[in-house]
Amino acid sequence: MNFDLGFMITALPALIAYLPMTLFLAVTSMIIASLMGLLLAVLIRHRTPLLSHLAELYISFFRSVPTLVTLFIFYFGIPQLFPGISFINAISATIIALSFKNAANLAEEFRGAMSSVDPGQMEACLSVGLTRWQGFRRVILPQTVRIAIPGMSNYLIMLIKESSLAFTVGVTEIFSQTKIIASNSFRFLESYIAVALIYWAVTILLTLLQKRLETRLNRPYN
């Protein structure tokens, strides 16, 4: 079969219609993973008794397990282990799996960012009467986020691509719809190039947003 450019162009709108679901899975997972990762990083950095060891064990496990295995554990395993859990469906299992997986990666990102902040800044906060929590929230955390922005952007892009695994548990997102269109038309090359272009465009947009955000956050330091 010859390459059909017209089919690829007509497939683009049909695929873009499912882009919101992909972005919903990725952005929601990113928000949850960032909060979890920050908490894990704080526990490890401050060497909280017992909790720091549990955090290190969590990071070691989820960094080692493939994302697809994590997804299957939450979608098939958790309802089997706890039959009373009713909120686990394909979408929620995908979000939980992606969040837990990437929280482990982001924890290391945040921990490295915190380590690059001069410890003397917390001492300065305490010397002017701020509590440790106030010093962390007002001084350390903003600098940590500023340093971690490039890494967080990379993980968001990775989450957008990893959300394509949701089709394995029945979520119809952009990659799942691509497989449907390709199977129905036997235009596999055109369909997959079309979805590749969409992923590429989203990545370019996120990269531009990242650079603008970095410029804005770095302005007080220039």
Domain boundaries, the chain: 1-18+172-222, 21-165
Q: Give the model confidence (pLDDT) of 163-195 as tens digits.
A: 999 999 989 899 999 999 999 988 999 999 999
Return the pLDDT at 132.
Answer: 86
Q: How many other CB atoms sit within 10 Å of the CB of residue 182?
A: 18
Return the CATH number of the domain spanning residue range 21-165: 1.10.3720.10
**What is d(CA 98, CA 182) in angstroms, rounded to the nearest whole number?**
26
Q: Does the structure show a pLDDT above 70 at 1?
A: no
First CA to last CA distance, the chain:
57
Per-residue pLDDT at 201 exceeds 70: yes
At residue 132, what is the residue type? R
Q: % helix / strand / coil in the chain, to the nearest 5?
A: 85, 0, 15
CB within 8 A of 87, min separation 6: which ones?
Answer: none
Q: Rounded CA gap, 174 and 63, in Å?
A: 26
Q: What is the pLDDT of residue 221?
A: 74
Residue that wins the pLDDT comparison between 218 and 20? 20
Average the pLDDT over 2-17 and give the result. Answer: 90
Q: Which residue has the higher pLDDT, 149 or 84?
A: 149
pLDDT of residue 192: 94
pLDDT at 96: 94
pLDDT digits (tens, 9 = 90+) for 115-146: 888 888 888 888 888 888 888 888 888 888 88
Helix intervals (H) in 46-173: 51-64, 67-72, 78-81, 90-115, 120-127, 132-135, 141-162
| Burial group, residue 179, by CB count within 10 angstroms (0-12, 13-18, 19+) | middle
pTM equals 0.90
Q: What is the pLDDT of residues 12-59, one digit of tens each?
A: 999 999 999 999 999 999 999 999 999 999 999 888 788 999 999 999
Q: Is the pLDDT of residue 86 over 80?
A: no
Confidence at residue 219, expressed as pLDDT on a 0 to 100 scale: 81
Residue 77: the pLDDT is 87
Size (the chain), residues: 222
